[in-house]
Amino acid sequence: MGLLIGCSGDLSVVDPAGPAARVIATLWWVMFIGAGLILALVVALVIGAFRVRRTEGDAARDEKVWIIGLGLCFSIAVLTALLAYGLVAGERLMPRVAADVVRVQAEARQWAWRFSYDDRPGYITENLLHIPAGRPIDVAITSRDVVHSFWVPRLAGKLDAIPGHVNVLRIEADAPGTYRGLTAEYNGEGYRRHVFSVKAHDPAGWAAFVAEGTP
């Protein structure tokens, strides 16, 4: 249990709280377990090579088997499987057209984030992003000065904020709550303080947030 303490918490990528984060967490676990199994296989083969005695003829024949079998076929099969799985996972993270999608804008600068909302025109929050829980959110990310990176580990992957360019990231929270975000891009002395929060509202809370901006 102690080994899993680092797998939970506000900034843990393997403690997902949304659909996109679950896809990323599953990919992480697949690669972690696969790497562990391959390491165990290699260690077993190395130990076996020292313990088994072979004649020169057997050694020459076995070299061809291992080079073709493990060096080529096994490696190609593993890399192909990982590539295919990675492409499928990446496709699932793409923002798709959805009837109930909420659109917000995130503008980074040294050293703060400003958020604005299509559902509440003219309203801006700093370092606190409001979203509805249980609905997909498209975050249009850009920067006013240098390259930053928008990342809420428990809700989705990270995406760069680039001056003069807009990148769109789909996030979603399973349940109401507050989720920590940070800038995952070193860009100066204030980098460590460049953090923000995401507050996911229940339906009534989101309706009240939007209604506050209604004339």
Question: In the numeric block, which tokens belong to residue 159?
Answer: 């995406």
Say if residue 50 is in the same domain as residue 148: no
Q: Is residue 52 part of a domain?
A: yes
The reported pLDDT for the residue numbered 60 is: 59
102 band by pLDDT with thresholds 50, 70 and 90: very high
Say if residue 131 is in the same domain as residue 199: yes
Residue 161: is its pLDDT beyond 70? yes
Cβ-based neighbours of 102, under 8 Å, separated by 6 or more? 118, 119, 131, 132, 135, 136, 137, 138
Say if residue 202 is in the same domain as residue 116: yes
Mean pLDDT of 170-181: 94
- For 63, 118, 134, the CA distances from 128, given in Å and listed in that order, are 60, 16, 18
Cβ-based neighbours of 147, under 8 Å, separated by 6 or more? 160, 161, 162, 163, 185, 187
Residue 48, helix vs strand vs coil: helix
Residue 187: is its pLDDT beyond 90? no
Report the mean per-residue pLDDT for the chain: 84
Say if residue 106 is in the same domain as residue 191: yes
Token pair 């809420």 is found at 152
Say if residue 36 is in the same domain as residue 78: yes
Q: Is residue 169 part of a domain?
A: yes
Q: Is residue 188 part of a domain?
A: yes
- Domain-ending residue, one of 57, 73, 92: 92
- Domain-ending residue, one of 67, 92, 117: 92
Say if residue 71 is in the same domain as residue 111: no
- Domain count within the chain: 2
CA distance 165 to 150: 14
Say if residue 88 is in the same domain as residue 106: no
Say if residue 202 is in the same domain as residue 112: yes
Please give the single-letter amino acid code of residue 209: F
Residue 164: is its pLDDT beyond 50? yes
The reported pLDDT for the residue numbered 215 is: 46
CA distance 117 to 33: 41
- Domain-ending residue, one of 61, 92, 123: 92
Say if residue 134 is in the same domain as residue 107: yes
Query: For the domain that residue 168 is a member of, what is the CATH number?
Result: 2.60.40.420
Say if residue 88 is in the same domain as residue 143: no
Q: Is residue 45 part of a domain?
A: yes
Say if residue 59 is in the same domain as residue 107: no
Torsion of CA 28, 132, 101, 119, to 10 degrees: -140
4 band by pLDDT with thresholds 50, 70 and 90: very low
Question: In the numeric block, which tokens belong to residue 84?
Answer: 């295919």
Strand pairing of 112-117 and 120-126?
Answer: antiparallel
Domain of residue 116 covers 102-211
For the chain, the maximum distance between any two Cα atoms, rounded to a whole number of angstroms, is: 89
Say if residue 121 is in the same domain as residue 56: no
Q: Is residue 97 part of a domain?
A: no
Cβ-based neighbours of 160, under 8 Å, separated by 6 or more? 141, 147, 148, 149, 150, 167, 185
